[in-house]
Amino acid sequence: MLSLPPTVRVFVATAPCDLRKQFDGIAVLVEQGLRHDPRSGHLFVVFNRRGDQVRILFWDRQGYCLFAKRLERGRFRLPWDGPAVGATVEMEAAELALILEGIDLRGAKRRARWTATPTPPETIDIAA
């Protein structure tokens, strides 16, 4: 399971990528094609056309890290239809971990989550 700080965002390219690209090639794809800063510390995920390989690029303050996974059999099941060139989908790290484990998220239902509602600041009467 991926364990990432909550400040790290995960961006997935919806269009397939030529995975012969390595560090710099994928960084250029992120910068020019996806319009994100590859040195932001976020994860950038690209899949190949067949859907059996994935590369994950991120910057760790000293250099690029590139993780790769190739399935011997089967394909990654992505939760969106058809590719859109230059588009990205933002997902949670847990969703990415499930996809990498081979779980199909298309039929999954997202339950409502608790979110903190901002409370209005209290006003203090200084004149009193």
Q: Is residue 49 in a domain?
A: yes
Q: Is residue 96 in a domain?
A: yes
Q: Is residue 30 in a domain?
A: yes
Structural domain boundaries enclosing 91: 10-100
For the stretch 23-62, pLDDT in tens is 999 999 999 888 899 999 899 999 999 999 999 999 988 9
Q: Is residue 108 in a domain?
A: no
Mean pLDDT, range 97-110, rounded to an integer = 81
DSSP string of the chain?
-----TT--EEEESS---TT--HHHHHHIIIIIS---TTSS-EEEEE-SSSSEEEEEEE-SSSEEEEEEE-SSS----SS-S--TT-EEEE-HHHHHHHHTT---TT--PPP---PPPPPPPP--TT-
Q: Is residue 122 in a domain?
A: no
How many domains does one find in the chain?
A: 1
For the stretch 57-93, pLDDT in tens is 999 889 999 999 999 999 988 877 665 656 888 888 8
